[in-house]
Amino acid sequence: MTQDSKQINIALLGLGTVGEGIYKVLQKQAPMMMQKLNTNINISKILVRTPAKHVSKVSDPSVLTDNYDEILNDPSIRIVVEVMGGIEPAFTYIRKAFEAGKSVVTANKDLIAAHGSELIETAETNGCELRYEASVAGGIPIINPLLNSLAANEITEITGIVNGTTNFILTKMTKEGMDYEPALAEAMRLGYAEPDPTNDVEGFDAARKIAIMAQIAFHTKVTLSNVYTEGITKVTSRDISYAAALGWVIKLLGVARNTEDGVEVRVHPTLIPEDHPLASVTDSYNAIFVHGDAVGDVMFYGRGAGQLPTASSAVSDIFTIARHQASHASSVARDSVFRSLPVKTIDDTVSSYYIRMIVEDRPGVLASVAGVFGNNSVSIQQIIQKSKINDADSELVIITSPIHERHIKAATDVFKTSPAIREIASIIRVL
Ligand code: NAP
Ligand code: HSE
């Protein structure tokens, strides 16, 4: 430090995958930060549940504490970085940080999706900043671009692969023929998955991320309950093989659209052409397409999970707040919600559909299937029939023309009452 350089003390809440990444990046980048900011960013406290477990991770173990009050009551700590995860006690700790005049960086999408607006309001009331770049798509800058760089646009669509774990699993199943369970175990070993991977594989993690982005992009409240959510646990290797034969791959997509009749926000496995740019986004990589009326299409691509990529986003938020604090700039949190748009149900969205059915193998069944679709306004684009998958049954794969989902549901309700239809094995939307 030079004589006129400054120091900003920060505290980490959590020293797990992401917390340790932030610690490493700040240590490594300290000289560069000093040159960029003329300010030393010093981690003066780290909150964990079990300090003894973390001693080997830090150069000065006296920074470790299991008592949040030590951070809250230390006026020299200006920025609190929450990387513990979960709703409580993270929610309470962050509110208390604002009330104590401390700004906050968080990677916690569960919390931002559930209580983001409330936290922004508390930050604003207390003249503090809340930054959450790391909460969506790990290392990819997307929150700050939506809030700032693309602010000149009416954004009408966001489509993305926003969960690294499920993209990793689908890639392993597609390219290496790996089974689901070992692919999930590998994603967990690599630190991509949440401690309980249910949120990843059932699509809830992606749902939180698309809800956060949709709310910022469309300036209307989007809650988790507005997001239709389907995960990858029902995707089978049989569907992956059919997809390949048809020139498609299966990806878990988050889709948010601002249409004339309302906003739609959904997460589900989706068939996309293998030459679509999102098809080449593999392993734990994420990618997000944004369409704005002025800019047209932009795509953001990079590591959506993992220690250092996520730390990259969190440290850039720390850096931004430190710069504001060092220059005494006023940059309080502001909510981007200023209107109330209707949110559509999944029944009112339009897609083409891939439907795989097991049917009785006898004359007339194919004609009756086609009749049920026709009676429900569903137009068939393509049929593949595999005769005799066992002694009595054959398998049909039907691709429909684009249609409102309620018509597909009406047709499948009829099939459920028909003895000739043994099973509707899969229904996957087509991009
Ligand atoms: P993690 O490895 O499980 O680490 C959590 C850390 O928080 C641990 O050090 C734990 O301390 C501490 N902690 C948890 N509850 C606490 C409590 N009540 N009091 C004090 N300390 C507590 O989690 P992570 O993977 O780093 O994820 C952290 C956050 O980043 C989550 O919100 C996650 O969704 C988000 N995120 C993660 C990734 C990723 O790739 N992992 C990417 C983007 C965003 P002990 O070890 O002592 O128990
Ligand atoms: N579990 C998440 C994922 C981590 O797999 O994308 C990043 O939020």
Ligand nearest to the CA of 283: 2
Count the neighbouring beta carbons within 10 Å of the beta carbon of residue 234: 12
Given the candidates 3.40.50.150, 1.20.1260.10, 3.30.70.260, 3.20.10.10, the CATH classification of the domain at 347-430 is: 3.30.70.260
Cα–Cα distances (Å) from 200 to 160, 203, 237, in that order, read 15, 5, 19
pTM recorded for the entire structure: 0.95
Name 40's Cβ contacts closer than 8 Å, sequence gap at least 6: 1, 5, 6, 7, 8, 30, 33, 34
Distance CA 108, CA 134 (A): 8
Instruction: Give the pLDDT score at 358.
Output: 96
Helix axis angle, 109-125 relative to 204-218, nearest 10°?
A: 40
pLDDT at 227: 98
Query: Whose C-alpha lies nearest to ligand 2, atom 1?
Result: 193
The pLDDT, as a whole number, for residue 426 is: 97
The confidence score (pLDDT) of residue 389 equals 79
Q: In whole angstroms, what is the distance from residue 38 CA to residue 40 CA?
A: 7
DSSP string, 139-170: TS--HHIIIIITTTS-EEEEEEE--HHHHHHH
Among 108, 140, 165, 199, which is best to mutate for testing ligand 2, by the most ligand atoms less than 8 A from CB? 165
Name which CATH class applies to 143-303.
alpha beta
CA angle 408–413–418, rounded 5-degree value: 125
* Residue 255 to residue 228: CA distance in whole angstroms: 10
pLDDT at position 331, please? 74
Domain boundaries, the chain: 3-138+307-326, 143-303, 347-430
Nearest-angstrom CA–CA distance, 314 and 334? 19
Write the DSSP string, 85-120. -SSTTHHHHHHHHHHTT-EEEE--HHHHHHHHHHHH
- Protein fold of 3-138+307-326: Rossmann fold (3.40.50)
Cβ(85) – ligand 1 distance below 6 Å: yes
pLDDT on residue 247: 96
pLDDT of residue 2: 54
Whose CA is closest to atom 7 on ligand 2? 305
Q: Which ligand is nearest to the CA of 52?
A: 1
Q: Is 163 in the pocket of ligand 2 (CB under 6 A)?
A: yes
Ligand with smallest separation from the Cα of 111: 1
The verdict on the CB of residue 240 being under 6 Å from ligand 1 is no
Residues designated as active site: 209
- Best of 12, 23, 47, 49 for a ligand 1 pocket test (most atoms within 8 Å of beta carbon): 49
pLDDT of residue 157: 98
> If you measure from the C-alpha of residue 1 to the centroid of ligand 1, how many angstroms do you get, rounded to a whole number?
31
Ranges of residues in the chain with a pLDDT under 70 are 1-5, 330, 333, 387
- Residue 392's pLDDT is 87
Neighbours of 291 (CB within 10 A): 18
**How many angstroms separate the first and last alpha carbons of the chain?**
54
For residue 199 and ligand 1, the question of a CB distance below 6 A is answered with no
